[in-house]
Amino acid sequence: MSQQLAVFFPGQGSQSVGMLDALAATHSSVKETFEEASDALGKDLWQLISQGPKADLDSTQNTQPAMLAAGIAVWRVWRQAGARPATLMAGHSLGEYAALVAAEAMSFSDGIRLAADRARFMQEAVPAGEGAMAAVLGLSDEQVVAVCAEQAQGEVLAAVNFNSPGQVVIAGSAAAVARAIDAAKAAGAKRALPLPVSVPSHCALMQPAAERLAERLADVALALPRVPVLHNASVAPADSVEVLRERLVQQLYSPVRWVETVEAVAARGVTTALECGPGKVLAGLCKRIADNMTTLPVFDPKTLEAALEATAHA
């Protein structure tokens, strides 16, 4: 029996101008995937990711569909190479949508349009400047949760991304996040710094966006994934389409439980995973979470070849 293979998809933050240029030069399906995405949106996503400007690519409403298209483009290259299929999938925040498209729970065009609408709902839920996010490094999860509880002072403030041991992202009202940064440093954090984002993701400020997303999802054709997808909000696969819809809505205002997700994958006996999409962010996080599992980033011809070799005879 061949070894299990998990596939992870990165979310917002891994994008860069020029991402996938090298892979597109050797695999025509990359640009073809972006052409599909561009047709679905009525916007040239390939020109955006290959030429920028960076500020436009980093705008939430562009980043989310661009990252979904990037993840699926890499996944298609992997499958076309005749590589080992996935036995389990997960995605970090927006990456969960790429996992669901790859697992055939929704069509690619529906996923692209849904990602764009999700981003718009998130952006419109909180006026610019009123929300913020920050990364806290070097404190335990419990310490960060305690700092948030102490510094909320009637405002929204929560730990929202449990990325790896000692790396937690917080989000909420801008003033509360600023207080938490100072308190985290006083508590001994190695670093506590604001993140350059325009949306306070995965906290209660996203409830209005979640309500709009629930209405939008009612019009999207979904199916149970052909490969189990572990959801950010539950660290478990959905057992019905209704639950799948609920998990996607819940994800907007709930923490990304990435540490638990990777631990759950490793607990199933998975020792090899792919990161399909630009960058190596998830591979780095996974190394700090489960040292018995190797996560192979795939985003250009060199990393593709290395991943194909590593998984060919296992």
Catalytic residues: 93, 202
How is residue 195 annotated by DSSP?
-
Q: Which helix (H) or strand (E) holds 92?
A: none
Backbone dihedral region for residue 136 (phi beyond 0: left; psi -120 to 50: alpha; all else: beta): beta
Q: Is there a contact between 287 and 165 (Cβ–Cβ < 8 Å)?
A: no
Taking the C-alpha atoms of residue 141 and residue 64, their distance in angstroms, rounded to an integer, is 27
- The radius of gyration computed from the CA coordinates of the chain, to the nearest angstrom, equals 19
The answer to whether the peptide bond before residue 53 is cis (omega within 30 degrees of 0) is: yes
Q: Which residues contact 228 (CB under 8 A, 6 or more apart)?
A: 87, 88, 89, 103, 237
